[in-house]
Amino acid sequence: MRRRWMSAVAVTVAGLLSLTACGGGGDGKSAGDGQAAKKQVEVFSWWTGPGEADGLKAMREIFEKRNPGLTFFDAAVAGGSGDKARALLSSKLQANQPPDTFQGHAGAELQGYIKAGKLEPLNALYDELKLKEVFPQQLVDQITYKGNVYSVPVNIHRSNVLWFNPKVLKDAGVAAPPKTIEEFITALEAVKRTKKIPLSIGSEWTVVHLLESVLLGSLGTDAYNALWTPGADWSAPALTKALGDFKTILSYAGPAQDDWQPASKQVADGAAAFNVMGDWAYGYFHNPPDGGLGKKSKEDFDWVASPGTDGTFMWLSDSFTLPKGAPNRDGALAWLKVAASKEGQDAFNPKKGSIPARKDADKALYTDYLEWDLAQWANGKLAGSIQHGVVANDAWKTAITEAVGLFLQSKDVAKLQQALVQAAQTNNQ
């Protein structure tokens, strides 16, 4: 599975690089009549699926209305969580051919770009827009490196959400969604007896996403957060037990789907009982059929915190950056101003299935799941996502992903833990 997945990434990146070399153009000129066209702003992201693409479109409309002399060029690369997009982005940056702005997860994920000198600080923009007054302090701290801020967060997402189909649980005799790891395993076994898929999964990154929720639920918040401090003991017996829980839970998974959307759809359609996915799934479930599945919450799908994690918000944040050498630097700054704005975030997040990074957003727009999410963000403990760039830099996350890929073949908990120990020793500096 691991080899096939890496080959697919390589093929995708090679194809995209050839397309990048042939098209796009960074000079803001039309290719046909030679006359000057609107200046192009290349916005690089991985938002191509239902829900996320709808949110991006809503921000794009605001951007083009505010900036009639600019045209938005959507350079999005398909693939949930952005693994394929970041592979292509790395190639572009190494070749000194950056997009005007690119999406990145706030936190440790961006440090590699910062240390390599690929990003401009955004302190002046933060001062101009008074962003430190409207963003939560812990978020500003997370995206600050050596006194400088390097990205503009457009949202807050929650990683540790257990989505489930109420009817499938009822048919399996499961009276309530599981609150603990032990209850989760019992519920998975009950669903298995009905011949339904107990747990849906997508491509490899969704398994790493599952792992982080299981680690949090099995270890507890404080022990999970301690894993990311220098000298943390990844060989501890408590982690052995957590990885054993992960193996057991994964044994109930159905065939891996191509990405998170088809895995989520299995739950919405009643083919599967459970899926652990971030709250972007809400937009996909809830949005009308032209951009989602048009399902009814509490009937076709429902949610709780992933087992063992109630009271803790495992968070991540999508943000945009200003690369050094951006072909249209002024256009990039114009995009960042929209991404940072109340109007932009309130247009984007309800469709995306996330909550705003700003504290002054219109709460009336955030209903149903998103109302619950806002309250959880305000009142819960915090833990950072592995898969989505908060706690582990790219090298560390890559090592964890490789360990999980090998585990999917071997199912050997001891080897998985040994690989995670080695990854921490190499990268937890």
The rounded percent of the chain whose pLDDT value lies above 70 is 91
Rounded distance between C-alpha atoms, residue 173 and residue 406, angstroms: 35
Given the DSSP bridges, would you call strands 39-44 and 101-105 parallel, antiparallel or unpaired?
parallel
Q: Does residue 211 have a pLDDT over 60?
A: yes
pLDDT one-digit tens code per residue, 82-113: 778 888 999 999 999 999 999 998 888 898 89
Structure tokens at 332: 């990039």
**Interior angle at CA 201, CA 199 and CA 203, nearest 5:** 170
3 state SS of 362: coil
Query: For 262, what's the count of Cα atoms within 13 Å in the CB-facing half-sphere?
Result: 9
Q: Is the pLDDT of residue 175 over 70?
A: yes
What are the distances in angstroms from CA 196 to CA 173, 252, 267, 313?
13, 10, 10, 30
Higher-pLDDT residue of 288, 411: 411
Contact call for residues 31 and 40 (beta carbons, < 8 A): no
Mean pLDDT of the chain: 89
Backbone angles phi, psi at 229, to 5 degrees: -95, 150
Give the pLDDT confidence score for residue 137 in this predicted structure: 83
Q: Say what the pTM is.
A: 0.82
Report the alpha-carbon distance of residue 172 to residue 115 in Å, rounded: 52
Closest CA to 159 of 305, 44, 301: 305
Domains and CATH numbers, the chain: 38-156+317-378 (3.40.190.10), 158-314+389-427 (3.40.190.10)
In which band, very low, low, confident or very high, does the pLDDT at 80 lie, cut at 50, 70 and 90?
A: low
For residue 423, which phi and psi values (nearest 5 degrees)?
Answer: -60, -40
Number of neighbouring beta carbons within 10 Å of residue 141: 9
> How many whole angstroms separate alpha carbon 208 and alpha carbon 401?
7
Beta strands in 257-339 (DSSP E): 272-276, 302-305, 312-316, 318-320
The helix (H) or strand (E) run that includes residue 125 is helix 123-129
Burial of residue 7, with CB atoms counted within 10 A of its CB: 0-12 exposed, 13-18 middle, 19 or more buried: exposed
Q: Find the helix or strand (DSSP H, E) in which 102 lies.
A: strand 101-105
Sign (positive or negative) of CA dihedral 155, 161, 164, 166: negative
Question: Per the structure block, which two tokens stand in for 68?
Answer: 């009639």
- Tell whether the model's pLDDT for residue 351 goes beyond 80: yes
Q: How confident is the model at residue 7 (pLDDT cuts 50, 70, 90)?
A: very low
Query: How far apart, in whole angstroms, are the C-alpha atoms of residue 265 and residue 275?
Result: 10
Lowest-confidence range among 138-142, 210-214, 277-281, 409-413?
138-142
Return the pLDDT at 1: 38
Confidence of residue 14 (pLDDT cuts 50, 70, 90): very low
* Residue 143: closest CA among 158, 116, 121: 121
pLDDT at position 245 over 80? yes
- The burial class, CB within 10 Å (0-12 / 13-18 / 19+), for 313 is buried
